[in-house]
Amino acid sequence: MEIYGEIIVHSDNETILSIANQIRKINNSSWKYLDNVSEKASLGGIDKILCLENIKEGIFFYLRESEQELLLFNIIPTGYQSLSKSQYNNFLDIFCEDILYNLINDHNIISIKKERHIAEVAGTNTFEALEKWFSESYDGLKVNSNDFRRWVHFLSVAQANNSDLDSETFRTWLIEEKKFTEEKAEEYSQDYDYGRQILQYLH
């Protein structure tokens, strides 16, 4: 299942600040940093928000600058019409090719995450546990007696690996990929969220 992707750059504070400051200086025929929009979006928050406009496409890219991290968290077209997942992720690629990769060449980047599939968000071990839970426990109508054991294993793997899989992405996966009803998917997503919270409290 493809999801709306995001780009996360991890590095030390000095490097993140340097990259953010270079973004603030962008002003050419293709891209423009919007200072006023960035300032308004940052009001009231601890983290700083940066807004870049792709002039040709009329698309606005929003980034969050925080300690040791720069996150591209939203892409909004002019007029606020919605973007499909493939369109959104295509603009992620454009941002990387036109802006990001050019800025990070001279910096010590710890990692860059470019996520657009549930397996990438969840992590390999967690996604495998998720698929195992579904394939061996769910027959489309009911769960068998081993379901709880596999369910707890899936939650334990997700927690142990500090998985970024959230309940909403899990819910969407159940509906779109596994054809759960919205009611059933909501029930499982709430159980997932509650289970992760319990495990976090216990550890």
Q: What is the DSSP string of 89-134?
A: HHHHHHHIIIIIHHHHTTS---EEEEEEEHHHHH-HHHHHHHHHHH
Confidence class for position 141, pLDDT limits 50, 70, 90: very low
Q: What pLDDT digit, counting tens, does each position of 40-83 carry?
A: 766 666 678 999 999 988 999 999 998 888 998 889 988 757 88
Q: What pLDDT digit, counting tens, does each position of 80-98 carry?
A: 578 887 888 889 889 988 9
Mean pLDDT, the chain, as a whole number? 84
Confidence class for position 164, pLDDT limits 50, 70, 90: confident
Question: Exposed, middle or buried: residue 108 (CB in 10 Å: 0-12, 13-18, 19+)?
Answer: exposed
Confidence class for position 102, pLDDT limits 50, 70, 90: confident
Average pLDDT over residues 103-117: 68
- The pLDDT assigned to 51 comes to 92
Cβ–Cβ < 8 Å for 33, 18 = no
The amino acid sitting at 164 is D
Question: Considering only 29-33, 43-47, 124-128, which range has the smallest mean pLDDT?
Answer: 43-47
Q: Are strands 69-77 and 59-66 parallel, antiparallel or unpaired?
A: antiparallel
Q: What pLDDT digit, counting tens, does each position of 16-25 carry?
A: 999 999 999 9
**pTM of the predicted structure, to 2 decimals:** 0.64
Confidence class for position 129, pLDDT limits 50, 70, 90: very high
Neighbours of 118 (CB within 10 A): 20
- The three-state secondary structure class of 49 is strand
- The pLDDT assigned to 144 comes to 56
Ranges 30-44, 73-87, 180-194, most confident = 180-194
Going across the sheet that includes 111-117, the strands are: 31-33, 48-54, 59-66, 69-77, 2-10, 111-117
Cβ–Cβ < 8 Å for 75, 62 = yes
Q: Are strands 48-54 and 59-66 parallel, antiparallel or unpaired?
A: antiparallel
* Residue at token pair 């071990």: 125
- The three-state secondary structure class of 170 is helix
